[in-house]
């Protein structure tokens, strides 16, 4: 009636920016949204997300850090570089921003946490 968008629509827009590979391998475990201002149905928006650092323990106690630039590793003196295919952390975290395309005004900020799907856990 007042042409404002409801909360469910905001959640959908936030999820649009999450990479497809995340949906294929992870399930959403939590979401926190901080609304900054309202938007109308006719507003054009930009939905952006950025991964935050997280770590995962792999074979031979190698520790892999996943960040926006990719995978890096820290290992003991006898540990070889881990296989890139095994560089899958059990948890991921993203920060999200939804803003107006016209002037960049922030609509909302958010955080999502994801856990590896049960069938995808590292052994």
**pTM score, whole prediction:** 0.67
> Are 42 and 54 a contacting pair, CB within 8 Å?
no
Using a 10 angstrom Cβ sphere, with 0-12 exposed, 13-18 middle and 19 or more buried, the burial of residue 63 is middle
pLDDT digits (tens, 9 = 90+) for 41-78: 888 999 999 998 654 443 333 344 444 334 443 444 33
Per-residue pLDDT, averaged over 25-34, amounts to: 94
DSSP for 26-94, please give it.
EEEEEEEEEE----BTT--EEEEEEEPPEEEE-GGG-EEEEETTEEEEE--TTPPPPPGGG---SEEEE
What mean pLDDT comes out for the span 109-117?
93
Instruction: Just list the catalytic residues.
Output: 2, 4, 39
Quote the CA–CA distance of 2 and 25 in Å, as a whole number.
39
Dihedral angle over CA of 35, 20, 120, 69, nearest 10: -80
Binned at pLDDT 50, 70 and 90, residue 9 comes out as confident
| Helical (H) or strand (E) element with 111 | strand 106-116
pLDDT at 71: 42
């Amino acid at each position: 009636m007042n042409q404002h968008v409801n909360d469910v629509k905001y959640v959908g827009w936030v999820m649009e920016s999450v990479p497809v590979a995340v949906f294929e391998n992870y399930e959403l475990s939590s979401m926190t949204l901080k609304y900054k201002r309202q938007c109308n149905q006719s507003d054009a928006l930009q939905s952006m997300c950025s991964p935050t650092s997280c770590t995962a323990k792999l074979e031979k106690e190698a520790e892999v850090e996943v960040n926006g630039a990719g995978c890096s590793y820290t290992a003991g003196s006898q540990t070889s570089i881990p296989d890139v295919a095994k560089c899958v952390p059990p948890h991921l975290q993203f920060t999200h921003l939804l803003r107006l395309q016209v002037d960049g005004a922030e609509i909302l900020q958010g955080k999502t946490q994801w856990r590896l799907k049960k069938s995808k856990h590292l052994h």
